[in-house]
Structure 1
Amino acid sequence: MASAGRAYFQPDTTLAVQNGGVQMIPISTPRGKFNVWTKRFGHNPRIKVLLLNGGPGATHEYFECMESFLPQEGIEFIYYDQLGCGNSDNPRDTALWSLPRYVEEVEQVRQALKLNKDNFYLLGHSWGGILAAEYAFKYQQNLKGLIISNMMMSCPAYGQYAQDVLAKQMKPAVLAEIRQLEAKKDFANPRYMALLLPNFYAEHVLRLPLDQWPEPVNRSFAKMNQSLYVTMQGPSEFGIAGKLLTWDRTPDLPRLTVPVLSIGGKYDTMDPEHMRMVAAKVQHGTALICPKGSHMSFYDDQQTYMAGLTRFILGVDKGEKEVKL
């Protein structure tokens, strides 16, 4: 075990000067070249998990809880700020905020990091789950495993779930005031977020008291690229209204042959039954529904989430196509 631990934490011997695993990767886009930030944590030639943050427009930082769980299992993971996010370049060009372009960005990152079908696990959370799925539909031959975390495979169905299920759980007076502000498109009104935070975010995004949200989450959300977020998602997590409005890959799920873990939370902004359906429709799927979890189940149902995630990754590493949790 001690020797395995030393191997996991060994530095990159190809570097003359160590920098903590950070690698800036040049990305070609239709608007020129930019650089995106990545950071490797640990070393395992067979298991390399690339993390795709949500938002869109948040940062890798809310994934920092992974450091408390994955190293002890020998799982290497890679933080990555997508273009326009966190430590990566921000070209401030909405023409670059597009799903197909982000898929090609992930492919360029994969090539630069030398990830392949023998070691490459892709974990996408929320918007990152859309990006991970879309990447898999085009490039699944490069993947060893795919984790779709807290994301439905249909934005219309997500919007419908918000209206038909989640909205009805709100107090009628609160919902009425939210609807009034939305009708006026008065999203910048402080009252709008003042209503959503306790009545929606604290119920369905992260089920902890607002003053106890983990510091990495607050730090990441404080850096949200609002241009990217609003362009793709719309002004609120309460439904969807941006470029992703009509995105729906549900009919294509049987095309996925790579092992897939579909994660949801009982109190998620996403329908947990939809997440079960995703696991059933892909060729080799496993569902993990966190009974205490919401959209950020890796914080509010942490033990369930991390146990299931590590079991899936280690199971696929052993050759299991459909991992039993």
Structure 2
Amino acid sequence: MSHRPPTVVTRGRAVPDISTRTVPFGEWETWVRITEPDEPRAGALPLVVLHGGPGMAHDYLRNLDELASSGRTVIHYDQLGCGKSTHLPDASADFWTPQLFVDEFENLVAALGLVDYHLLGQSWGGMLGAEIATRRPNGLRSLSICNSPASMGLWSEGAAELRALLPEDVQATLTRHEAAGTLMHPDYLAASEEFYQRHVCRVVPVPDDFQRSVDQMEADPTVYHTMNGPNEFHVVGTLRTWNIIDRLDQIEASTLVVAGEFDEATPITWQPFLDRISTVTSHVFPGASHCTHLEQPETFRSVIAAFLAQHEH
């Protein structure tokens, strides 16, 4: 099922066409959102966007649609288990693996008939992007790893360092409720918010797109709670031992690594990308945190657009 609205012109500027469809993935379905430029630019390859979480849906990354203004198609999709794709709340914990999402991506690329393309992943999406890139798919022309770790062990180390900088009473509240297992207590959630406002999204109030992703995850937290855990800094899910460092030298695609100055993805978490990928460059956004694309949207898109333009062929 798809829907393609007509091109709309607002104040003399053409608005890109946005269509949606579902792609069969085994017995399930992957929901896809495709933004096509009003004026395609010759040689501009499509960009596929991988959202984070796992299980946070595409909404909070929707402003990357603006990259279509450079003449390229932008493709968002909701990964299995969240958003508008098939939900599987009764699936066992061992069902939710990185390979599942690699398979879903490969299925999507084949279904959409993509020959050459760019790939951008944010947070977990960058981890997934790295997993995909180690398989060396023929059509992958570049990889943008945004606000992502190369191992969850390093992520937890970085989170512990940031957590130690929180006010002492906040730290005590977090520790007390984690020990008691009362992770949904209002005091624990309020204390968690201190971390989020410093290191996840520094825009107050948070943008509507971000809140939509949060709301849908909380409505069905299966994937996030199973793979990650209850929040960003208390990682107790199946991904807690994930580590791609020893496989990074298998990545051949030109790679850009970006992060924010105050990012929960601290420098120790993404330094292995710089050390082990031969075709890598990096950019740190001063004053930004984990959701750099929401905090500094125009600057973020400018950096990404420039990188994509350099690697069309």
Q: Tell me whether the two structures share a fold, i.e. TM-score over 0.5.
A: yes
Please give the per-residue CA displacement for 1:238-277, whole angstroms capped at 9, x wherever unaligned. 1421110111111221221110111111111111354354
Aligned to 2:28: 34
Residues 1:64 and 2:62 are matched in the alignment: yes
Aligned to 1:322: none
Aligned to 1:109: 108
Give the root-mean-square deviation of aligned CA atoms. 1.8
Contact 2:124–2:148 (CA under 8 A) maintained in structure 1? yes
* Residue identity in the other structure for 2:188: Y
* Alpha-carbon spacing, 1:312–1:280, altered in 2? closer, same or farther (3 Å): farther
SS of 1:144's equivalent? strand
Residues 1:158 and 2:185 are matched in the alignment: no
Structure 1 residue ranges (4+ consecutive) displaced by more than 6 angstroms after TM superposition: 8-11
SS of 2:49's equivalent? strand
Aligned to 2:5: none
* Residue identity in the other structure for 1:188: M
* Residue identity in the other structure for 1:54: G
Residues 1:251 and 2:246 are matched in the alignment: yes
* Residue identity in the other structure for 1:51: V
Equivalent-residue separation in structure 2 for 1:89 and 1:101 (angstroms): 13
217, 228, 232: which is aligned to 1:237? 232
Aligned to 1:215: 208
Equivalent-residue separation in structure 1 for 2:107 and 2:24 (angstroms): 8
Equivalent-residue separation in structure 2 for 1:277 and 1:89 (angstroms): 34
1:21: how far off? 2.0
* Alpha-carbon spacing, 1:148–1:93, altered in 2? closer, same or farther (3 Å): farther
1:281: how far off? 2.3
Equivalent-residue separation in structure 1 for 2:88 and 2:196 (angstroms): 29
Aligned to 1:5: none
Contact 2:136–2:250 (CA under 8 A) maintained in structure 1? no
147, 150, 173: which is aligned to 1:177? 173
Equivalent-residue separation in structure 1 for 2:311 and 2:148 (angstroms): 21
Contact 1:181–1:192 (CA under 8 A) maintained in structure 2? yes
* Residue identity in the other structure for 1:235: P
Aligned residues: 292
Contact 1:261–1:279 (CA under 8 A) maintained in structure 2? no
Calculate the TM-score normalised by the size of structure 1: 0.85
Question: Runs of 5+ in structure 1 lacking a partner?
Answer: 1-7, 12-19, 320-325
Aligned to 2:10: none
Residues 1:148 and 2:145 are matched in the alignment: yes
1:71: how far off? 2.3
Equivalent-residue separation in structure 1 for 2:165 and 2:91 (angstroms): 35
* Alpha-carbon spacing, 1:10–1:221, altered in 2? closer, same or farther (3 Å): closer
295, 310, 313: which is aligned to 1:315? 310
1:48-127 matches, within 5 Å, as 48-67=46-65, 69-95=66-92, 96-116=95-115, 119-127=116-124
* Residue identity in the other structure for 2:311: V
Aligned to 2:221: 226
Quick one: percent identity of the two aligned structures? 29
271, 283, 291: which is aligned to 1:288? 283
Contact 1:161–1:271 (CA under 8 A) maintained in structure 2? yes
SS of 1:88's equivalent? coil
Calculate the TM-score normalised by the size of structure 2: 0.88
Contact 1:258–1:283 (CA under 8 A) maintained in structure 2? no
